[in-house]
Amino acid sequence: KGVLFVEAVRRAEEIRSSSAAELASAVPVRTRSAIETARLMIEIFFAPQLTSDVLTVRLEPMVAAHRDPELRQIIADFRPLHLDAQRVVLRRSGHEAIADGPDVELLARMIESSLLYAGQTGDADPIDAASRSVARMIELAHHAAEIAGTDG
């Protein structure tokens, strides 16, 4: 692996994280359903642009990068910025209790795993399938927040 490749991965993560922050802050504030919010979260997670080939173009290279300790560290270093963008989307969509709770990382993992699962099962629209799974996690996170007494 060359220095240029490592720098390319670092630059890609810089672009992804800054695009995610910019797009998240531009989301209009309004109450959204779990499915609407889930779709927005996926779009922001794969900023600057989510396309139907997200599995092969974006997610598979990220998974492959995790095999290399240096690349894995670069991706890990930027993860908090991506999670911050997810919190912004949740807050701007009326899901403050989730944004301020312990489940944002879990939702990010659900985004990744749901897309991979949809790809493995041959789902015709992996983004839609992942949106449904993430929406269900949002609903469950709301339920958990209600039980904890933190969901307004």
Q: How far is residue 30's CA from residue 39's CA, in Å, rounded to a whole number?
A: 15
Annotate 24-76 with DSSP letters as a single string. Answer: HHHSPP----HHHHHHHHHHHHTTT---TTHIIIIIHHHHHHTTSHHHHHHHH
pLDDT of 151 reads 67
CB-based contact 107:37 (threshold 8 Å): no
pLDDT of 40 reads 96
pLDDT of 62 reads 77
* Tens digits of pLDDT across the chain (152 residues): 578 888 988 998 899 999 999 999 999 999 999 999 999 999 999 877 887 777 777 777 777 777 889 999 999 999 999 999 999 999 999 999 999 999 999 999 999 999 989 888 988 899 999 999 999 999 999 998 888 887 65
**What are the tokens at 114?**
């749901």
Residue 124 DSSP symbol: S
